[in-house]
Amino acid sequence: MSYWKDKNVFITGCTGLLGSHLSEQLVECGANVVGLVRDYVPRSRIFFNAELQRKMVVVRGNVEDYHLLERAINEYEIDTVFHLAAQTIVGIANKNPLSTFESNIRGTWNILEACRRNTGVKRIIVASSDKAYGDQENLPYSEETPLQGKHPYDVSKSCSDLIAHAYYHTYGLPVCITRCGNFYGPGDLNFNRLVPGTIRSALRGDAPVIRSDGTFIRDYFYVKDGAEAYMFLAQKMDELPIHGEAFNFSTELQITVIELVRKILSLMNSNLEPVVKNEAGNEIKHQYLSTEKARHVLGWKPRYSLDQALLETIDWYARQLT
């Protein structure tokens, strides 16, 4: 906790699932948190928590606005940046690729350029994704796996990842990249995602809907573990020669969509059966990560088991939605 006390931290995407948990943890650790907020989302954990709001500075705007980013970083004397803002939903990216590219690609070069022009910024974490690796024959993904997204969201994350590398190799910018699995946990309001959508359906007594055939394999990563991993990596940037490097973070569980849905239903003591629509398109079938590098180089490991994390998540939605 003493590491973060009085550090000036800028978080893009602070109202999102990971951003809200990261903001909360950093505030608890004594950091001066400045959050970039595009839209007012009443049920976001940021806006829902009046005490947290009082302890943060909120900058209104979006990552496509370069001058706003430069002003915020300079005016609040930022030393640490967590760039999380992105359009993160695969289906939306397929329907509207241009806004996804604007947010995910332009937003990344804007934040990196604003940091490059301010020598006070000492550490930058750029959130990439396991989807930046694209569809690969050899799994699990390691950090040496080529970045070769083919669909709009995947391409946007491959590009933002490579842009971060370029800013390190060309300008020596103190940046690291994270590639994580699918985040889930308390506060996720995107109910077209599997975990919150399944929980909400079960609470309403409706059969959960699976868009794919149910056999897709994904990495599911608890958001509290994710927030701690981001903070841990930023701190390690002061201790280890890791600038310019990428790190995978996950629990390394290989689980199919239908297995996860049935586990959630079992934990909720529900007899519902999922409806398998088998209509998902332009999505990678199997994705899962190796975290060997994070374990060996950083000494990192997750704290939560799948069942423990799901029970906490179910409890949060049960309190919020019933």
Q: Which 8-state DSSP code applies to residue 33?
A: E
Q: Is the dihedral of CA 129, 134, 135, 137 positive or negative?
A: negative
Helix (H, G, I), strand (E, B) or coil at 306: helix
Q: pLDDT by residue (tens digit) across 2-23? A: 899 999 999 999 988 999 999 9
Q: Containing H/E element for 189?
A: none
Diameter of the chain measured on Cα atoms = 57
Active-site option among 141, 153, 167, 220: 153
Assess contact for 63 and 104: CB atoms under 8 A: no
Alpha helices in 172-222 (DSSP H): 194-204
Q: How far is CA 267 from CA 16, 89, 184, in A?
A: 26, 26, 16
Report the CATH number of the 8-184+220-251+289-302 domain.
3.40.50.720
Residue 240 backbone phi and psi in degrees, to 5: -125, 150
Pairing of strands 32-37, 56-60: parallel
Q: pLDDT by residue (tens digit) across 172-194? A: 999 999 999 899 999 898 898 99
Which pLDDT does position 41 carry in this prediction? 67
Q: How far is CA 193 from CA 58, 189, 275, in A?
A: 27, 9, 15
Helix (H, G, I), strand (E, B) or coil at 290: coil
Which pLDDT does position 54 carry in this prediction? 80
Which pLDDT does position 288 carry in this prediction? 86
Q: Position of tokens 């640490």? A: 80
Q: pLDDT by residue (tens digit) across 216-273? A: 888 899 999 999 999 999 999 999 999 999 999 999 988 999 999 999 999 999 999 9
Q: What is the percentage of the chain residues whose pLDDT exceeds 70?
A: 95
Average pLDDT value over all residues in the chain: 92
Task: Assess whether 153 carries a catalytic annotation.
Answer: yes
pLDDT at 195 over 60: yes
Q: pLDDT by residue (tens digit) across 100-129? A: 999 999 999 999 999 999 999 999 999 999
Among residues 45, 42, 55, the alpha carbon closest in space to that of 14 is found at: 45
Among residues 230, 99, 113, 239, the alpha carbon closest in space to that of 166 is found at: 113
What residue type is 52 in one-letter code?
L
CA distance 302 to 312: 15
Which pLDDT does position 199 carry in this prediction? 97
Query: Which residues 6+ apart lie within 8 Å of 173 measured at CB?
Result: 112, 115, 116, 124, 167, 243
Q: What global pTM score does this model have?
A: 0.93
Confidence of residue 91 (pLDDT cuts 50, 70, 90): confident
